[in-house]
Amino acid sequence: MLPPRVRRAFRLSLHRSDHAETDTDDEIRGHLEMRVAALVARGLSPAQAEAEALRRFGNLPGAREALQETARRRERRLSVVESTDELRRDIGYAIRQLRASPGFTLAVVLTFAIGIGANAAMFGIIDRLLLRGPAHVREPERLARFYYSVEEPGRGLFTGSHLGYVAYSALKDHVRSLDGVAAYSANEATLGRGAEALKIQEGHATADFFPLLGVQSHLGRFFVAEEDRPGSGQRVVVLSYALWRSRFGGDSAVLGRTISIGDEPYVVVGVAPKDFTGVEMQRVDLWIPMTVRGPRIHPEWSTTWHAQWLQIVGRLRFGVRPEVAAEEATARLLSAYEGDDPGMRHARGSFRAIGFDVRGGEPPQVAVARWLTGVAVVLLLIVCANIANLLLARALRRGREIAVRLALGAGVSRIVRLLLAEAFLLAALGAVAGLAVADWGGQLIRVALLPDVPWGDSAIDARVLAFTAIAAVISAVLVGLVPALQASRLDLTGGLKAGMREGGGRRSGLRTLLTVTQAALSAVLLIGAGLFVRSLRNVDALHHGIELDRLLVVDIHWPRLPASAAEDEWNRVRAQQTTFYEQALERIQGLPDVERASVAIGTPFHGGLSLGISVPGIDSIPAMPGGGPWVSAVSSDHFATAGTRVLRGRGFTVGDRAGSERVMVVNETMAERLWPQQDPLGKCVKVLGRPCARVVGVVEDARRSALDEPSAMQFYVPLGQQTSISGSTILIRPRCGEATRCAGRLADLLRSELLHMNPNLGYIDIEPLERGLEGQVRPWRLGATMFGIFGAIALVVAALGLYSVIAYGVAQRSHELGVRVALGAQRRAIVWLILRQGMVAAAMGIAIGLTIALFSAPFLQPLLFRVPADDPAVFGLVAVTLLAVAVGATILPALRGARSDPMRALQAE
Amino acid sequence: MADRPLLLKGTLDLLVLKALTLRSMHGLEISEWIDERAEGELEILDSALYQALYRLESRELIAAEWGVTDNNRRARYYEITPAGRAHLEKERASWLRYAQRVQAILALRTRAV
């Protein structure tokens, strides 16, 4: 008798669990009948025999039930064992198939790795930016930041989230739609002093901030309401996990220690959990109570409506819509408002997602990341189309083998399963390799393009792994389905008869469709890349009126003076600092690596200062969309140092100083606005009602704080002649050319020089001025880089795809082409015949791609910089490029086709 | 019938396996084989026998297959698997040791104090 395993393998007499019941009944019935027959043979009457047989059996209904249950369970288990056996066999077969063609396998796995890896990397980024929200925040979807919108004359609707403590007090405990309200802010500060000083991000929060977010401290505790009362705020501090590890060695004895922040003593009460950054995606090194921060902002910080520095977050009550909460909060805010801004009396409040920026919009890097995710998906589609094409070609080449298998009795379902197993295996290998791509690429994007976001340790976490697995499964189904469908439709006798020579129109039609798809998607990506590259070039080509890339800014964090200090004290310190900057400038100008240097109050990207002016003969100073008039007080060599061109008159000289004649240099906009068609030189401008300052020069407009800012009036006064502005920085023009190149080397030298002059200085910030613009340029850089990389990959993959289709077609038709040659066809005609096929596919793809790009143009437009999203130059260039690549991919197989040997074709007949 | 000894748990399994070491049999054959050798001392209900058979089949100690009897009846034939033989060998030894122990204890002559 055959062992059961063999029988199962041959699918002989296999029972499924529903058969188990009838089997059991048959067996019991047979048993009883035979027992009766045996008893009758021993001389019992049929009736006696039947009674005895039943007695011998025992509890028949109960036993029947129990036996059937056992049988059912057994069959179920067997069927599981069987299907895993089959799966193992299918995979084993697939492995053997792939081993037999290592080149093909490698190509497919690498292509998969790129497609899946790019998606995994982008998912890791989107996950942090969009999906998961800030670390350690419970139910971030119910948290919302409070924004207010006011109609501002000349500027339109202004939306912002910066409010005062008084607004927080007004909302706290008074909005029933909210479970709670908290306020937070952040700024730069110095930890320690002198050479040990460290620049840190200081976070300020009301005590209810931490319970509102639902965060638990890693060590010790967060500060509590008693420590955060206006008027009696306690100097307590909660360290970030990272700072605790790096600065305090992760020692738990740090609790209770006193540390110096901005020259003030604070007691450490706790350590925040790892990667906790509040509700923003920005690093925070330590947290102090808002009531300690307040007095540094304004003497009446807790009651004034004039100081607006903090942001308010609320937790929406479960099931409450943000609009409802906003309405309630607006009413509450307006009834409490006692300020003098008429616009605020008509302000509208709104609650928006905490992922939004201070203006209530989606931050540009998030928008770009969202687009890049789309791009990654498109890339994966191209990759899948290409691999499906390769697998299809393989399936066709194996058409005969498959036909033989079908003829031998393998079910179609089994063939489909084999092909799918192959696809799954390839996708799984690709996913593993893709994780390496994701790790490397993810880190690269994080560091190079999105450095401000506090990322976790690794680009690969459990969620990325899960995503990768899902992406691999979907890809496998996508690429496996096409050849599997093909196989299931295979014409059996045709396949057996035709051998290697077939290759019908229908099948190559499917492959052409895949090629057209690839070309279309590549066109879309390349157009995106082109638009972003042009944006970036427009950004780089901007004339800033100041040579941002050639300047270093030295920003010294001075020890804070206590708020209670007397006026005398302030004056003494101010005079001391002025002297310090004079001496420091002299010293720095003497350094061999420094070409020029100047001191300025009011530096681009370091906070603008604006003052009221009046001009004799002009009734009112016109308001400009860019605000202002802005003011800077600068030392004599400033314009030469900054690279701002003097258009008329002169810049400042050493002779322009405190006590000398009051002079002023104005920018072009100011000259044109105040004195159109007149000579501005010699005019009088009064700053804050002080005596006339004579205009001695006109300079070009210079960048203030943003890439794309409306023009504004700006004037410069000599350092020492300024009124009521302070906060000096030193601008340095190094000899090395690009400031970023020598920033590091020069920074150490400068720090030691300055600390030598005054060892009590706080942190000394030395950065290229360009850094201020970096964050603004980043979205375009991100877009140009990623679209460029993905577009290039897509182009290569699509070119390979086209090549493989054409080459395969030529190989399939070599017989037909040979016959044509034999019949006297011109070689040139044959080249054209094949070339045309590739061109048609490419042209169709390009046309579809351009159409898609045209339709998505309005959505992409806000992300571009001074480039129309339907820029004809970019569209044209992409079309030409793709066509050229298509010719390149087609010409080789076309030439090969033209060399088809007529003799071989005829002999084969 | 009241004085027939109880069948200890697991014993029936061993008897079935022992029966099947000779040849493959269907349920009735096994029942009759045991009856003959027990000389009427052990009455095993057929329901118990079949539960033992199904249990053993689930544990893959025996395998079943439909066949035809000498009288041209359809019946399910059981055969012992290699795992079944190994199991029987092991259990048989420990059962015999156990029975000897019990017998030795019961055979002790004791005097009432």
Chain B contact set for A76 (CB, 8 A): none
Report yes or no: B87 at the A interface, CB cutoff 8 Å: no
Is A6 an 8 Å CB contact of chain B?
Answer: no
pTM value is 0.69
Q: Is A770 helix (H, G, I), strand (E, B) or coil?
A: coil
How many angstroms away from the CA of B32 is the closest CA of chain A?
A: 10
Point out the least confidently predicted range of A560-569, A619-628, A644-653, A743-752.
A560-569
More confident residue, A797 or A315: A315
A38 touches chain B (CB under 8 A): yes
What is each CA distance from A864 to A524, A534, A773, A892, B14, in whole angstroms?
Answer: 16, 9, 16, 39, 84
- As a whole number of angstroms, the distance between CA A148 and CA A328 comes to 13
Residue A62: closest CA among chain B residues belongs to which residue?
Answer: B47
What was the pLDDT predicted at A346? 86
**Residue B51 to residue A73, Cβ atoms within 8 A:** no
Q: Tell me the CA distances in angstroms from A739 to A551, A704, A768, A777, B57, one per residue in order.
A: 6, 19, 6, 17, 83
Do the Cβ atoms of A4 and B73 come within 8 Å?
A: no
Judging contacts by C-beta atoms under 8 Å, the chain A residues touching residue B69 are 34
For the record, the structure tokens of A756 come out as: 């030598």
A708 or A600, which is more confident: A600
pLDDT at A337 over 70: yes
CA distance B24 to chain A (A): 10
Structure confidence by residue, pLDDT tens digits, A844-895: 999 999 999 999 888 888 888 888 999 999 999 999 999 998 888 888 888 8
Please answer yes or no on whether A74 and B58 come within 8 Å at the CB atom.
yes
Give me the percent of chain A exceeding a pLDDT of 70. Answer: 92
Whether residue A58 and residue B54 make contact (CB cut-off 8 A), yes or no, is no
CB of B37 within 8 Å of a chain A CB? The answer is: no
**Beta strand ranges found along A740-891 (DSSP E):** 764-768
CA distance A622 to A628: 10
Residue A10 has pLDDT above 50, yes or no: no
Residue A238's pLDDT is 96
What CA–CA distance (Å, rounded) separates A716 from A699?
9
Residue of A nearest to B59 (CA): A74
Which chain A residues are within 8 Å of B75, Cβ to Cβ?
27, 30-31, 34
State the pLDDT at residue B111. Answer: 65
Please state, in angstroms and rounded to a whole number, the distance separating the CA atoms of residues A219 and B60. Answer: 58
The per-residue pLDDT for range B3-20, each reduced to its tens digit, is 455 566 678 899 999 999
Which has more pLDDT, A82 or A765?
A765
Q: What integer pLDDT is reported at residue B9 of this predicted model?
A: 64
Q: How many degrees, rounded to 5, is the angle at CA A563 between CA A557 and CA A564?
A: 140
B69 touches chain A (CB under 8 A): yes
Nearest chain B residue (CA) to A35: B28
- CA gap A504, A279 in Å, rounded: 61
Taking the CA of residue B47 and the nearest CA in chain A, the distance in Å comes to: 5
| The pairing of beta strand A594-601 with beta strand A728-734 | antiparallel
Cβ atoms of A204 and A290 closer than 8 Å: yes
**Residue A148 · residue A348 · CB < 8 Å:** yes
Chain B partners within 8 Å of A59 (Cβ):
47
- Are A649 and A663 within 8 A, CB to CB? no
Q: Give the integer Cα–Cα distance in Å for B61 and B80.
A: 6
- Whether the bond into A629 is cis, omega within 30 of 0: yes
Distance from CA of A812 to the nearest CA of B (A): 53
Given this model, what pLDDT does residue A788 score?
85
Six-digit token pair at A561?
A: 């003076």
Q: Are A4 and B63 inside 8 Å of each other by CB?
A: yes
Write down the number of H helices and E strands in chain A: 24, 22
CA angle A495-A500-A502, nearest 5°?
65
Of A3, A57, A70, the CB nearest to B46: A57
Please tell me which of the candidates A4, A57, A67 has its beta carbon nearest to residue B54: A67
E strands in A482-580: 552-556
- A485 band by pLDDT with thresholds 50, 70 and 90: confident
- In a mutagenesis test of the A interface, which of B28, B61, B73 is the best target, namely the one with the most A β-carbons within 10 Å? B28
Task: Compare all CA atoms of chain B with the CA of A14 and give the residue at the minimum distance.
Answer: B65
**pLDDT in the model for residue A489:** 66
Q: How far is CA A846 from CA A377, A527, A599, A849, in A?
A: 19, 11, 56, 5
A74 contacts B54? CB cut-off 8 A: yes
For residue A70, the chain B residues in CB contact (below 8 A) are: 51, 54-55, 58
First-residue to last-residue Cα distance in chain B: 35
- Which of A362-376, A484-498, A679-693, A777-791 is predicted with the least confidence, judged by mean pLDDT? A484-498
Q: What is d(CA A309, CA A748) in angstroms, rounded to the nearest whole number? A: 33
**Which of B31, B46, B66, B81 is best to mutate for the A interface (most A CBs within 10 A)?**
B46
Residues of B in contact with A33 (CB under 8 A): 73
Count H helices, E strands: chain B? 4, 3
| Chain-chain contact of B47 with A60 (C-beta, under 8 angstroms) | yes
pLDDT score for A629: 85
- Residue that is written with structure tokens 């009846």 in the block: B73
Residue A1 contacts B, CB cutoff 8 Å: yes
List the Cα angle A347/A349/A352 in 5-degree steps.
145
DSSP state string for A116-154: HHHHHHHHHHHIIIIIS-STT-SSGGGEEEEEEEEEETT
Q: Which residues contact A658 (CB under 8 A, 6 or more apart)?
A: A720, A721
Residue A30 to residue B63, Cβ atoms within 8 A? no
Both tokens of residue A164? 């005062």
Sign of the alpha-carbon dihedral angle for A348, A350, A354, A357: negative
- Cβ atoms A339, A306 nearer than 8 A: yes
**B28, A38: Cβ pair inside 8 Å?**
yes
CA distances to A775, A840, A860, B74 from A857, rounded to whole Å, are 24, 25, 5, 77
Q: Tens of pLDDT along B79-107?
A: 999 999 999 999 899 889 988 998 899 88
Segments of A379-458 assigned E as strands: none
pLDDT for A308: 84
- Using one digit for the tens of pLDDT, what is the confidence trace for B5-63? 556 667 889 999 999 998 999 999 999 999 888 887 877 889 989 999 999 998 889 99
pLDDT of residue A2: 45
Q: Per-residue confidence at A240, pLDDT binned at 50, 70, 90?
A: very high
Nearest residue in chain A measured CA to CA from B69: A34
Residues 6+ apart with CB under 8 A from B32: A38
Angle at A554 between CA A653 and CA A284, to 5 degrees: 150
Q: Compute the distance between CA of residue A267 and CA of residue A239 in angstroms, rounded to an integer.
A: 10
Taking the C-alpha atoms of residue A399 and residue A409, their distance in angstroms, rounded to an integer, is 15
pLDDT of residue A209: 96
Tens of pLDDT, residue by residue over A421-478, are: 889 999 999 999 999 989 988 888 888 777 777 777 677 888 899 999 999 999 999 8
Q: What mean pLDDT do residues A592-608 have?
A: 86
Q: Would you say A524 and A371 are in contact if contact means Cβ atoms under 8 Å apart?
A: no
Chain B nearest-CA residue for A34: B28
For chain B, the helix, strand and coil percentages under 3-state DSSP, each to the nearest 5:
55, 15, 30
CA distance A133 to A128: 6
- For residue A56, the chain B residues in CB contact (below 8 A) are 31, 45-46
Q: Which of A112-121, A390-399, A745-754 has the highest mean pLDDT?
A: A112-121
Q: Kindly tell me if the per-residue pLDDT of A500 is higher than 50.
A: no
- Please list every residue in chain A whose beta carbon sits closer than 8 Å to the beta carbon of residue B24: 1
Instruction: Provide the shortest C-alpha distance from residue B28 to chain A (in Å).
Output: 6
Asked if A30 reaches chain B (Cβ–Cβ under 8 Å), the answer is yes
By the CB < 8 Å criterion, does A62 face chain B? yes
What's the rounded Cα separation, in Å, for the pair A734 and A744? 12
pLDDT the model gives residue A502: 44
Name the nearest CA neighbour of A868 among A540, A541, A537, A534: A534
Averaged pLDDT of chain A: 84
First-to-final CA distance of chain A: 52
- Residue A673 · residue A720 · CB < 8 Å: no
